[in-house]
Chains A and B, each alone.
Chain A
Amino acid sequence: MDAISLIVRSIFVDNMIFAYFLGMCSFLAVSKNVKTALGLGVAVTFVLVLTLPINYMLENYVLKAGALQWLGKEYAEVDLSVFSLLIFIAVIASFVQLVEMVIERFSPSLYSSLGIFLPLIAVNCAILGGSLFMQQREFANVGMAAAYGFGSGIGWLLAIVGMAAIREKLEYSHVPKPLKGLGITFIITALMAIGFMSFSGINI
C-alpha cells in the first residue's frame, strides 16, 4: 500500500519536471513531437527503475556512516558518504552504456529509434536527482526505492508527452515573433506547472 501511494505521489505531487525542474534540458529539446518524446520517456523510466535500487543498495551497504558494518567490527566507523556523488554518477553512466549495448545487441530496431537519446540519459538531471532525493528521504527498503524510481519516471514521461502534444497543436497558433520556439515553450511549461500544483494539497 505504501508503495502505491509513493508511486502516485511521485507521479503527480512530486513530479520531477513540474515540482523540481529536473531533466528540463532534454524535456525542452526533445518535446517537438509525441513519438520521440514517448521513446525518451520510456528510456528514462527504464534507467530510473534500474539505477535507483542499485544506488540504494550502495548507499546503505557501502557509503553511509556505519554501512560497512557487515564487513566486520573494525569497519563500523567508516563513513564514505563524501564519495556518494562520484559513485552514483559512475553507476548511472556505466549503466546507460550497458543498456545501450544490450539494446543494440538484441533489438536493433529499438536501438535505432532510441539511439541518440540513450547517451543523453546519462546527463539527464532527473536520473541523478532521483538518486540524490533517494539519499535524502531514506526509504525503508529496496522495493520502495524502485517504486520511487518508477513513479518519477512515469511522471517525467507524462510531462514530456503532454508537452509534445501541446507543441504539435501550437503549429496552428499565432505567436509573437520573439517568443516563437523557446519562449512560448517556457510559458507553456510554467502554466502546466501551475496546473500540477493543484495536486500538491492532496494527501495520500
Chain B
Amino acid sequence: MALSSKTKAVLWGPLNKNNPVIVQVLGICSALAVTSKLEPAIVMAIAVALVTAFANVIISLLRKSIPNRIRIIVQLVVVAALVTIVSEVLKAFAYDVNKQLSVFVGLIVTNCILMGRLEAFALGNGPWPSFLDGIGNGLGYGWVLVVVGFFRELLGSGTLLGYKVVPQALYDAGYENNGLMMLAPMAILLVACIIWVHRANNKELQEETN
C-alpha cells in the first residue's frame, strides 16, 4: 500500500513538528501521572492511540449529521463509550496495570488530545485520514510518555519493566536510587528537558515571549 505524501504528513507530523504533548501542549495531565514506571506508560500510550483513532473514525463518519450546537456532547459520549470498553478490557486482561493507572484510564475521556483532534481534524476529513491522524497523534503522545517513563523507572528504581538493570556491584560501590525521580514533579521537569532539546533542534518552534 503506497502512502501519498499528504497521508505521510498526517501520520508522521504528530511525531515531531506537530507533537501533541510537547508542541501543542495537549494531554499533559495523564502524560505526567502515569509515567513513574515504564509499563503503565506503554499501556496508557496504546490505550490513547486506539481510542483516538477509533473516535476519529466514528466522528468522521458522523460529521455530516451532527448538529453544530451539540457536537461537544456527542463527541464526549462517543469517547466515553470507547474509554469504557478500554477500561473493561484492561480490568479483564491486565488487572495490575489497571490498578496502577487508577482514575487515569477514565480520564482519557477528558484528554485534550482527543477533543483537539476531533474538533480540528475528524470534523473536516474522511474516515481513513482521520484514522491515520488518530494513530499518528497517539504515537506522538506515546513516545513522550515512554521516554519519560524510561528515565523515571531507570533512575528512580533501577529497573526497566520490572527487571533489574542496574548491577548489584554499582549499589555495593555506594550508588543509590534517586527517590526524587519517583515523585510527580520530576515528570514535569523531564518533559521540560524534552521540550528544551526538541526546540533547540527545531528553531522555528521557539517562542518569542514568555
Q: Which residues of A contact B184 (CB under 8 A)?
A: 18-21, 193
**Smallest CB-CB separation from B186: which chain A residue?**
A190
Contact A182 B32 (CB under 8 A): no
B102 within 8 A of A: yes
Within the complex, the shortest CB–CB distance from A89 to chain B, in Å, comes to: 5
Which of A20, A180, A186 makes the CB contact (< 8 A) with B206?
A: A180
Contact B188 A190 (CB under 8 A): yes
Q: Which residues of A contact B176 (CB under 8 A)?
A: none
Cα A108 to Cα B184 with chains together (Å)? 40
Contact B210 A170 (CB under 8 A): yes
Chain B interface: which size bin?
35 or more
Contact B192 A179 (CB under 8 A): yes
A138-179: which have CB < 8 Å to B? 167, 170-171, 173, 175-179
Q: Which residues of B contact A175 (CB under 8 A)?
A: 210
Cα A125 to Cα B133 with chains together (Å)? 23
Q: Pick the interface stretch among B59-67, B74-82, B124-132.
A: B74-82
Q: Which residues of B contact A119 (CB under 8 A)?
A: 72
B33 within 8 A of A: yes
Within the complex, the shortest CB–CB distance from B136 to chain A, in Å, comes to: 19
Using an 8 Å CB-CB cutoff, how does the interface string of B168-210 with A read, 1 for contact, 0 for none?
Answer: 0000000000000001111111011001111110000011111
Chain A interface: which size bin?
35 or more
A21-B28, A28-B28, A129-B103 given as contacts; is B112 within 8 A of A123 (CB)?
A: yes
B96 within 8 A of A: no
Q: Pick the interface stretch among A2-10, A42-50, A57-65, A80-88.
A: A80-88
Q: Which residues of B contact A85 (CB under 8 A)?
A: 80, 83-84, 87, 106, 109
Contact A86 B80 (CB under 8 A): yes
Contact A181 B207 (CB under 8 A): yes
Within the complex, the shortest CB–CB distance from B155 to chain A, in Å, comes to: 15
Q: Which residues of A contact B32 (CB under 8 A)?
A: 21, 24
Q: Pick the interface stretch among A66-74, A90-98, A109-117.
A: A90-98
**Smallest CB-CB separation from B112: which chain A residue?**
A25
Q: Which residues of B contact A191 (CB under 8 A)?
A: 185
Cα A178 to Cα B205 with chains together (Å)? 8
Q: Which residues of B contact A179 (CB under 8 A)?
A: 192, 195-196, 199
Contact B109 A25 (CB under 8 A): no
Within the complex, the shortest CB–CB distance from A61 to chain B, in Å, comes to: 20
Residue from B186, B206, B208 with most neighbouring chain A CB atoms (10 Å): B206
A122 within 8 A of B: yes
Q: Which residues of A contact B198 (CB under 8 A)?
A: 178
Which of A167, A177, A183, A197 makes the CB contact (< 8 A) with B192?
A: A183
Q: Which residues of A contact B208 (CB under 8 A)?
A: 180
A-B contact pairs, 14 of them (CB 8 A): A19-B184, A21-B32, A21-B33, A29-B25, A119-B72, A123-B72, A125-B107, A128-B107, A128-B110, A129-B110, A178-B197, A182-B25, A191-B185, A193-B188
**Given A85-B106, A181-B209, 5 additional A-B pairs, CB 8 A:** A21-B32, A179-B192, A183-B195, A194-B183, A194-B185
> 9 closest Cβ contacts across the A-B interface?
A181-B207, A186-B192, A178-B199, A193-B185, A190-B188, A24-B28, A132-B103, A178-B200, A21-B32
